[in-house]
Structure 1
């Protein structure tokens, strides 16, 4: 593969990506078989070794043994005894398993527990789990590079959705560099949700409640301010980072007991097939729990349940899994609403929205869609160009490595390399 000065594989501040990718890159310098997964990992190995960031690669080689030992100790200390009590797998056996799945598949100890590889047959099925190291900084980055439609900028995303007739949560105010695009009279008399225009993971998100009697908005600190004061605050905050306000979306009434107050959303993964048609890969419902009543982010202590794509029916829910104490839930821990076996409302409309959305953004090969099901139908919240595969694989209880997803990724990687004259 020809070297790209931007690098198809970048450190991006994550040394764990390099450490996790090292055994995969070593074992797959030569394709191990004609199977799509082995061929895709051979392509990944080419990304890894072609990167011009030699310092990061050398650092990973030097630090990998110590990092592995450190993580084995940390995660076994946290989870080993309880896992042994539940399943009978000895603590020493769990530690050995963690070393084995790292050496073979680049799965670090955190993800040994995340993917429940301590369960019977877990080590044998480990090869089918796609890792963040393989996907986010390498394969997904390579495939989505050059896309012109903008998923990362939420204002541009909303404009693109509007121009293509795709249902989405509208934006009522946007502020950048101390300038706002509307006046107070344009703000609706309803609850608002504020977040960074280019933020991720729910960081910086705020709920502002409309107080009709006082004709103002109550913020996170409990103070009520006028619409003009709200816009002034939004404008001032934008000097540090662009921010925007949207009407607060509320879930469909049939989903009310799946929320502790935060909006419950679906993460839906889709990929273009060999004919560039959108194909649904997987979906999970994210739910906030505990004190976090602002966002349902899975990586901020929330839980997620796999969704059957044919029926919209939920499986059991859990957290990220690197702390096994929570286990698997059939009911929401706060509201006691049933999760497992529950059918989500308006599921055919959700499936149709995903297809319509990916056709509108078809310069992206892979997209992770955030979707809210409201009383009057599903809407897009945002799209993610480097979606996390953990939220698909952990709730599902199996890896994506033996699915059509891998065949489609392999096709597009090869097609893009060939179009660039790299073969």
Structure 2
């Protein structure tokens, strides 16, 4: 790409970071940073505003990555929103990006690797045919917006709610408008359920299709709910690093809701330890990620969200924007150099 075009895109990306910034959260982070470093507070807030242009990070990422207490050279080792956006738009062509951004399209393309129970519903649809099918199935259901991100707008309806006031419950769950995916609520494998019983825990496995057409596993993370119906970091969940070879959790959990007390050796609610526990059926998890990647090899790098149920792993989603925070924070290490190595392996 021509350097002038790259510079222009970086400027656009930096502006996007400022427009989309969560300023109440950023201000809270600035206040918290004052208790953690003498370079925190107002000075750090100014740094976070300049960070999109200097480092390609959003104001929130400036604090999450601990830039307020890092020197310039250390900050350059981390990848922010802008750098990931520039890379990921090359990893996945625009012509197929919608297959991952739109969950209805993704579900249709990858359905046989998934649970298979998903149905689509909008607020203008007659709910009775759907409710009749859901009541007959007798399951609790999970509902999420087809264009949702980070668990936003997701909810759970019990089989009892569907029986007693299905029309009203469904209307409330889909009040945000647009298309929703309605599917059977899956349950964790017992080994994962002991750690976090409130929601389905998911494994993010990121794969790359190399220029030689081979599938590489880049990294894996596991996510656990912290009392909500979703496990996403952005919705208050916890994330841990997972060793690719063994499937064993290799470090404590991290959270991104606060800068203070954000590392957890044990789950805050169940008291279960994280490090050293094995993700069940790990070989099958990797096999599912590989089969998913082979479905559409034009998508060079994708983050696959996989659930490990009592009956085995199931694919949930594929993400073309697979997460700079989830990649770097659980290991406390910037991945800018690793991103450059990935580009060499996957881009012709």
Corresponding residue number in structure 1 for 2:162: 217
For 2:222 and 2:315, locate their aligned partners in 1 and report how far apart those are by CA, in whole Å: 14
Residues 32 and 260, structure 2, Cα contact 8 Å, conserved in 1: no
Match of 2:290 in 1: 355
* Corresponding residue SS for 2:99: coil
Match of 1:78 in 2: 32
Matched ranges for 1:43-82 at <5 A: 46-49=5-8, 75-81=29-35
1:155: Cα distance to partner? 3.0
Cα-to-partner distance string for 1:29-72 (whole Å, 9 max, x where unaligned): 5xxxxxxxxxxxxxxx7433268xx8x58x95xx99xx9xx999
Instruction: Tell me, yes or no, if structure 1 residue 342 matches structure 2 residue 273.
Output: no
Aligned counterpart in structure 1 of residue 124 of structure 2, from 171, 178, 198: 178
Distance 1:71 1:377, change over 3 A: closer
Residue of structure 2 in register with 1:205 after alignment: 154
TM-score (norm 1): 0.68
Contact 1:94 1:118 in 2 (8 A): no
Aligned-partner Cα distance in 2 for 1:92–1:147? 42
CA contact (8 A) 1:176 1:235 kept: no
> Could you tell me whether the CA contact under 8 Å between 2:34 and 2:41 is conserved in 1?
no
SS of the residue 1:157 aligns to = helix
2:65 paired with 1:115: yes
Which of 83, 87, 105 is equivalent to 1:139? 87
- 1:148, distance to aligned residue in structure 2 (A): 7.3
Distance, in Å, in 2 between the alignment partners of 1:76 and 1:234 is 39
Residues 275 and 122 of structure 1: CA distance in aligned 2, closer, same or farther (over 3 Å) = farther
Aligned to 1:386: 321
The alignment yields a C-alpha RMSD, in angstroms, of: 3.7
User: Which ranges in structure 1 are unaligned for 5 or more consecutive residues?
Assistant: 3-28, 30-44, 85-89, 219-223, 416-423
Taking the aligned partners of 1:401 and 1:251, their CA distance within structure 2 comes to 34
Structure 1 residue 282 and structure 2 residue 219: aligned? yes
Give the TM-score of the pair, scaled to structure 2. 0.81
Q: Distance in 1 between matches of 2:173 and 2:200?
A: 26
Q: Is the 8 A contact 1:179 1:235 kept in 2?
A: no
Match of 2:341 in 1: 407
Matched position secondary structure for 1:249: coil
Which residue, out of 86, 100, 115, partners 1:169? 115
**How many residue pairs were aligned?**
336
Note closer, same or farther for the CA distance 1:264–1:237 as it changes in structure 2 (3 Å cut). closer
Q: Give the secondary-structure state (helix, strand or coil) at the position aligned to 2:262.
A: coil
| CA distance in 2 between partners of 1:76 and 1:197 (Å) | 34
CA distance in 2, matches of 1:298, 1:388: 10
Secondary structure (helix, strand or coil) at the match of 1:402 reads helix
Specify the alignment match of 1:252 in structure 2. 189
Q: Which runs of 5+ in 2 are unaligned?
A: none
Distance 1:209 1:75 in 2: 36
Measured at CA, do residues 112 and 156 of structure 1 come closer, stay the same or move farther in structure 2, by a change above 3 Å? closer
Task: Report the Cα distance in structure 1 between the residues aligned to 2:122 and 2:180, rounded to whole angstroms.
Answer: 7
Shift of 1:217: 2.1
Q: Secondary structure at the match of 2:152?
A: coil
Q: CA deviation at 1:274?
A: 1.9
Q: 1:320 aligned to 227, 242, 256, which one?
A: 256
2:218 and 2:266 map into 1 onto residues whose CA distance is 25
Displacement of 1:391: 0.5
Q: Distance in 2 between matches of 1:402 and 1:250?
A: 38
Query: How far 1:236 moved relative to its partner?
Result: 10
CA distance in 2, matches of 1:368, 1:247: 23
Q: Does 1:395 align with 2:330?
A: yes
CA contact (8 A) 1:266 1:370 kept: yes
CA distance in 1, matches of 2:176, 2:268: 39
**Cα distance, 1:265 vs. partner?**
1.0
Q: State how 1:231-250 maps to structure 2 within 5 Å.
A: 233=170, 237=174, 240-250=177-187
Counterpart of 1:179 in 2: which secondary structure?
Answer: coil
